[in-house]
Amino acid sequence: MKFLDQAKIFVKSGDGGAGSVSFRREKYVAEGGPDGGDGGRGGDVWVECVDGLNTLIDYRYAQHYKAKVGMHGMGRNRTGARGADVVLRVPKGTQILEEDNETVIADLTEVGEKLLLLRGGNGGFGNAHFKTSTNQAPRHANPGQDGQEKWVWLRLKLIADTGLVGLPNAGKSTFLAAVSAAKPKIADYPFTTLHPNLGVCEIDGRGFVLADIPGLIEGAHEGTGLGDRFLGHVERTRVLLHLVDGSSEDPAESYRIIRGELEAYGNGLAEKPEIVCLSKADALSEELRDEKVAALEAACGQKPLILSSASGENVDTVQRMIIRAIDKDKQDEANAVPSNKEEEWRP
């Protein structure tokens, strides 16, 4: 199934039905009076967050969604039927944005969340609604209200605990395949990964979700390469796992390039906890390891971990470090939330 994380769609709620102009006409009933019913309400447009979806591919081939119109009112005080609603089912982590693709209408992060996007038009009053003691035979009714319409953007941001970042061919997909059941495409050329991948990792009875995004290159925030649009999938993560290719000539420069792109992207990515690893260590001699670790440490300000997904070196250690970083971030988040519980009163 093709991965699609962004779609533009047109939505329209249903028009309300018109009221009816009718008079009671029965044998032996003189001057029966008005009996025109009201029009039915138009259908609403809803967005619902459901389980079992992980892409917006359904909105790639159908971009127009219109709720049904309300039925017109009829004689004998019969109200028109209500128009059927339209429900847009989206995966967890979907944002709904205005047509400018910047103003966020809603952010659906929990399965079961439901949003009323557009309300259907009210049905018009029939002539029975307007009868009074001085106007006993009204011959007019209201038309139904028009429904609302707009273009909106759907943008999916995957929900994961940890995000994998790094230059192309830094070993991100190999690490994901080594620690989870995910089967990303792996090859010895850049930009092998063209869309984000998710993997569920488990160690010591604990689990976490790992997101692998396509590699970044210098100038990604300006659209170079695949650009930085996939960085939205690691915005919700608690910790970043930054893999630096140990076989590169200057790992320190590789690290600085990615950090520069994270800072240019913004949205708090540069402030997230970061675990730095020198990957592909199996291809390095002991002397080269020490040299590149020292250079990378000077650039990032922390001791990088030597990692080899191919040989399994320090793979479990990295996972345990991720678990600890996630727990620490959760604890910091809990401590940062002020308690609403009032202190117990004592005389």
Indicate if 272 and 214 belong to the same structural domain: yes
Indicate if 1 and 146 belong to the same structural domain: yes
Indicate if 77 and 211 belong to the same structural domain: no
Q: What percent of the chain has pLDDT over 70?
A: 96
Task: Choose between 342 and 78: higher pLDDT.
Answer: 78
- Assess whether pLDDT exceeds 70 at residue 182: yes
- Kindly state whether residue 342 falls inside one of the protein's structural domains: no
290-300 average pLDDT score: 91
Could you tell me the pLDDT band of residue 29, with boundaries at 50, 70 and 90? Answer: confident
Inter-CA distances, 274 with 147, 217, 228, 289, 331, Å: 49, 19, 18, 21, 16
- How far is it, in rounded angstroms, from Cα 311 to Cα 155? 38
- Kindly state whether residue 341 falls inside one of the protein's structural domains: no
Contact 311, 282 (CB under 8 A): yes
Indicate if 1 and 61 belong to the same structural domain: yes
Segment 229-284, tens digit of pLDDT: 788 888 889 999 999 998 888 999 999 999 999 999 888 888 999 999 999 988 88
Indicate if 151 and 179 belong to the same structural domain: no
158-175 average pLDDT score: 90
User: Domain boundary at 125, 156, 187, which?
Assistant: 156
Least confident of 123-137, 147-161, 184-198: 184-198
Indicate if 119 and 183 belong to the same structural domain: no
Indicate if 200 and 93 belong to the same structural domain: no
Segment 71-89, tens digit of pLDDT: 999 999 999 999 999 999 9
- Which pLDDT does position 2 carry in this prediction? 59
* Mean pLDDT (the chain, rounded): 89
- Which pLDDT does position 1 carry in this prediction? 45
- Kindly state whether residue 347 falls inside one of the protein's structural domains: no
- Assess whether pLDDT exceeds 80 at residue 56: yes
User: Domain boundary at 156, 190, 205, which?
Assistant: 156
Residue 259 belongs to what domain range?
162-336
- Which pLDDT does position 332 carry in this prediction? 87
Contact 321, 275 (CB under 8 A): yes
334-344 average pLDDT score: 62
- Kindly state whether residue 344 falls inside one of the protein's structural domains: no
- How far is it, in rounded angstroms, from Cα 97 to Cα 55? 17
Could you tell me the pLDDT band of residue 217, with boundaries at 50, 70 and 90? Answer: confident
Handedness of CA 120, 124, 128, 134 (dihedral sign): positive
Contacts of 279 by beta carbon, 8 Å cutoff, 6+ apart:
166, 170, 171, 175, 243, 244, 245, 246, 307, 308, 309
Could you tell me the pLDDT band of residue 342, with boundaries at 50, 70 and 90? Answer: low
- Which pLDDT does position 347 carry in this prediction? 52
CATH of the domain at 258: 3.40.50.300
- Kindly state whether residue 115 falls inside one of the protein's structural domains: yes
Indicate if 15 and 132 belong to the same structural domain: yes
- Kindly state whether residue 345 falls inside one of the protein's structural domains: no
Segment 14-25, tens digit of pLDDT: 999 999 999 998
User: Domain boundary at 139, 156, 173, which?
Assistant: 156
Indicate if 167 and 152 belong to the same structural domain: no
Question: For the chain, how many structural domains are there in total?
Answer: 2
Indicate if 2 and 25 belong to the same structural domain: yes
